[in-house]
Amino acid sequence: MKHTAARTYRAVHWLTTRLQESLQEARRRPDRGDVSTTTVIIWVAAVTGAVMIAGTIAVVIAKYNGKLNGL
């Protein structure tokens, strides 16, 4: 339990420090540039495609699992 508390403290400290640094950077450079809508659409499409491919592979493996055992 002692180690968990220490790790939690370090994680919270790191997150707090990182958040403060990010806020300082945003104040220093307000024109940091936001991610465009097109970029978000492309990323969502790519992740969706990857999930669909992985799901299809999982379904095919589950369906033919008994037949693949002898390979």
pLDDT for the residue 33: 66
Distance CA 18, CA 21 (A): 5
pLDDT for the residue 2: 66
pLDDT (mean) for 56-62:
91
pLDDT (mean) for 44-61:
95
Cβ atoms 18, 25 nearer than 8 A = no
Domain ranges, ordered by start, for the chain: 1-31, 34-71
| Tokens read off for 2 | 């002692």
- Please report, to the nearest 10 degrees, the dihedral formed by the alpha carbons of residues 47, 51, 56, 59 taken in order: 180
How far the first Cα of the chain sits from its last, in Å, is 48
